[in-house]
Structure 1
Amino acid sequence: MIETHAHIYSDDYNEDRDAMLERAWNTGIEQIWMPNCDHSTIPGMLELAEQFPGKCLPMIGLHPTYVKEDFEKELLIMEEWLDKYPFIAVGEIGMDLFWDVTFKEQQEKAFLYQCKLARKHNLWIDIHSRNAFWETVNLIEELADPALKGIFHCFTGTLDEANKAIELGFKLGIGGVATFKNGGLDKVLPFVDLEHLVLETDAPYLAPVPYRGKRNEVAYIDLVAQRVADLKHISKQEVITATTANAKQMLQKTI
């Protein structure tokens, strides 16, 4: 399996990161893709990339909830790193209007700028979109660049939203929310072809049932794969085979 979105550099793992990663490898994880948040998360992320070459793969980007008054300085840092390091994607980037809309305009500018950076470097984008799906879609359509592709990370939307993301050429990142009783994906995943899905945990956040509310970790992706299989009435191995192939297809865009 390929874990397409996990913050394994998080301080949540400072006491047992090696053991957590060992559990991941033992679960059958081939690679862990690491999204960035802002300048402060880059050192820890790249340290893991160097420690596990070819297995822990970093992205670079400014997370929307980290977009503040100084976002332009942060974007310059991201741009400088893109010029000197082989990242697999620009992410995680996007819009988050759940907690605070104070910096909505700045988030929009940051997203558009980073989309253009991704195209400049021939990379795909990893999108964080919370309470802002259609706002994010509008920005993508404003760019009007059919070559811009990526993943809607932690997709929790409706079937209409899933179809729109797919129409734009994006994959859907499916994580622990798929296991939640009222997560809503039981009304979506049965109607979405496997070719459009990749698996993730967003660890240490959004742990799947039965660990909901506790610290998430990469090994729990196995529970997500099983849930997708159950919803689609197919075997877990079919889910793993297809989603791993989809992830590798994304990775080929950067090689």
Structure 2
Amino acid sequence: MIDTHAHIDTEAFDEDRAQMLERAKQAGVEMIIIPSIGVEGFDNLQEIVETYPGLYRGIGVHPHNVANITEVDMLRVEQESSNTHVVAIGEIGLDYYYDFAPKDVQQLWFRRQLQIAKKVDLPVIIHNRESDEDVLRIITEEQDGTLRGVFHCFSGDTEILQRCLDVGFHVSFTGNITFKKSTMDDVVRQVPNDKFMIETDSPYITPVPFRGKRNEPSYVRFIAEKIALIKNMSTDEVITMTTNTAKKLFALTVVTILCAVNLFAQDDYDDHPYPKKLGLMFIGATNTIVEAQEIAGIGTQPISYNGISSWGVGLNYALSDKFIIEGAYVNSVNNKVTVATQDNPKPQANPNTHQTVELVAKYLLNPYSRVVFYPTVGGSVFFNDYNIGDKPETNGLPQKSNTIPGVVIGFGFFANINTPYGLIAPGAEWRVDFYLTTEDKQTSYKGKAYNANVSTFFSLPRITLTWYPKL
């Protein structure tokens, strides 16, 4: 389950936050989204989501707190939206029930935060109380096809529901649907199964049977059970649907991966007393050669040769703490072209050999961490031998060699392991090498020989082992 809206950063949870989160975990809650309500709480909220696993946050200013904010505060909202744990702009919106800020001021900052959400490509969490017309009007005016989000604690009627759906938004239900006097059953029945989520709005709006007590995320199951009863579904079906919807809207799968990367990438300078200077690298890879063969009068024929074992060696030289220059040699032998297939009944006699020399730069994102992540970019030269070998060619296929320039991109990581003999860095990288020019090659299409203009790239997931001796 995912509790998509819970204010568990508030003082109501200061005494037992860890225990409350453990109860949520035991109840099956895997993730909780905590919306921001004011600038003064941003730092505390960020500390909380970094302390406990499975917590994510919104960034924004609640309509109760917009009376005295400035554009400086909006700049902070925009800047902090890039933090790893931030999954939404919110809680933002309009509240005409209370009079904490004039309506025009609320509308000004609501619109401004919608614009930030579009700029940073995040969904919004909407607070709407007795302000249906203005909230929907402003969203409609700002909707350019990229604005998305959720009306949290939805309590409107079926007409308002449809208008929310029409502007591309979701709704979220909380404990109020479990109350004896609730009028929300028709709304719950009408909402499409992929357009709603569940929340507690903790510590507020506690569901039956705990109404009157402090609300907490472990109670979100009671909302799911009530929805299941109204929609004549199983509770597990509701939980699965709402979990998938939340993960999709808030991109929680991607964010979870990024948070894990960030955790492993925390700097710890004491663990790395050996500087990297000159390293000897050994490479093992699986090469997939992908060709786009343009055949005159027929079109483009995609061809791929998968699972080609490759090996290589290289030297790494550290220009600075964050920049490493790598020179490498990689050898791939494509024996698959010697095997007869239905599309290629007359294979060539000898394999294709591809020898690649690469010169690339690696930018170390966190150079002194236990696990270091880096992007790669550079150039390469391919030395290709096609159908050249000891076996005589019997099918009349050409034998040739050529040299082609290329460009290299990649992303990888390695671990730092200190030893008495220097730094050992096992790692892995996905690297792609593109030909910068095309080739003229003879190929087969439906058993017939044709000449083709061929574009090629190599996809090389590889493992590496680099030794940086003490210098």
**Coarse TM-score class (shorter-chain normalised):** over 0.9
1:207 Cα deviation from its structure 2 partner: 0.5
- Correspondence 1:11-90 to 2 at 5 A: 11-53=11-53, 55-82=54-81, 87-90=86-89
User: Structure 1: how far apart are the matches of 2:38 and 2:118?
Assistant: 20
Matched residue of 1:203: which SS? Answer: coil
Of stretches 38-47 and 79-88 in structure 1, the one that deviates more from structure 2 is: 79-88
User: Structure 2: how far apart are the matches of 1:34 and 1:45?
Assistant: 8
1:194 Cα deviation from its structure 2 partner: 1.5
Matched residue of 1:88: which SS? Answer: strand
Kindly provide the amino acid, as one letter, of the partner of residue 241 in structure 1. T
1:129 Cα deviation from its structure 2 partner: 0.5
User: Structure 2: how far apart are the matches of 1:145 and 1:61?
Assistant: 21
Matched residue of 1:6: which SS? Answer: coil
Query: What fraction of aligned residue pairs are identical, expressed as a percent?
Result: 37
User: Structure 2: how far apart are the matches of 1:208 and 1:98?
Assistant: 22
Residue in 1 that maps onto 2:458: none
1:40 Cα deviation from its structure 2 partner: 1.8
Matched residue of 2:86: which SS? Answer: coil
Matched residue of 2:146: which SS? Answer: coil
Residue in 2 that maps onto 1:9: 9
Matched, 1:189 2:185: no
TM-score normalized by structure 1? 0.94
1:84 Cα deviation from its structure 2 partner: 5.3
Kindly provide the amino acid, as one letter, of the partner of residue 155 in structure 2. T
Residue in 2 that maps onto 1:150: 149
1:82 Cα deviation from its structure 2 partner: 2.6
User: Structure 1: how far apart are the matches of 2:101 and 2:11?
Assistant: 27
1:50 Cα deviation from its structure 2 partner: 0.8
8 Å CA contact 1:125–1:149 kept in 2: the answer is yes
The 1:23–1:109 alpha-carbon spacing in structure 2 relative to 1, beyond 3 Å, is same
- The number of residues matched between the two structures is 254
5+ residue gaps in structure 1?
none
Structure number with higher helix proportion: 1
The 1:138–1:205 alpha-carbon spacing in structure 2 relative to 1, beyond 3 Å, is same
1:164-190 Cα deviation digits (max 9, x unpaired): 111111111111011112232112111
User: Structure 1: how far apart are the matches of 2:21 and 2:84?
Assistant: 24
8 Å CA contact 2:78–2:120 kept in 1: the answer is no
Residue in 2 that maps onto 1:236: 235
8 Å CA contact 2:35–2:91 kept in 1: the answer is yes
The 1:211–1:103 alpha-carbon spacing in structure 2 relative to 1, beyond 3 Å, is same
1:49-80 Cα deviation digits (max 9, x unpaired): 11124x10011000011111334443233233
1:86 Cα deviation from its structure 2 partner: 5.2
Matched residue of 2:67: which SS? Answer: coil
Kindly provide the amino acid, as one letter, of the partner of residue 204 in structure 1. P
- Correspondence 1:133-212 to 2 at 5 A: 133-212=132-211
1:83 Cα deviation from its structure 2 partner: 5.1
- Correspondence 1:238-253 to 2 at 5 A: 238-252=237-251
User: Structure 2: how far apart are the matches of 1:241 and 1:82?
Assistant: 28
1:18-66 Cα deviation digits (max 9, x unpaired): 111111011111100010011122122111211124x100110000111
User: Structure 2: how far apart are the matches of 1:57 and 1:19?
Assistant: 18
Report the aligned-residue RMSD: 1.7
Kindly provide the amino acid, as one letter, of the partner of residue 10 in structure 2. S
Kindly provide the amino acid, as one letter, of the partner of residue 112 in structure 1. R
TM-score normalized by structure 2? 0.52
Matched residue of 2:59: which SS? Answer: coil
Structure number with higher strand proportion: 2
Residue in 1 that maps onto 2:95: 96
1:212-242 Cα deviation digits (max 9, x unpaired): 2321100000100000001111110110011
User: Structure 2: how far apart are the matches of 1:35 and 1:101?
Assistant: 19
Residue in 2 that maps onto 1:227: 226
1:101 Cα deviation from its structure 2 partner: 6.8
The 1:69–1:44 alpha-carbon spacing in structure 2 relative to 1, beyond 3 Å, is closer
1:141 Cα deviation from its structure 2 partner: 1.1
The 1:102–1:116 alpha-carbon spacing in structure 2 relative to 1, beyond 3 Å, is closer
Spell out structure 1 runs of 4+ moving beyond 4 A. Answer: 83-86
Residue in 2 that maps onto 1:116: 115
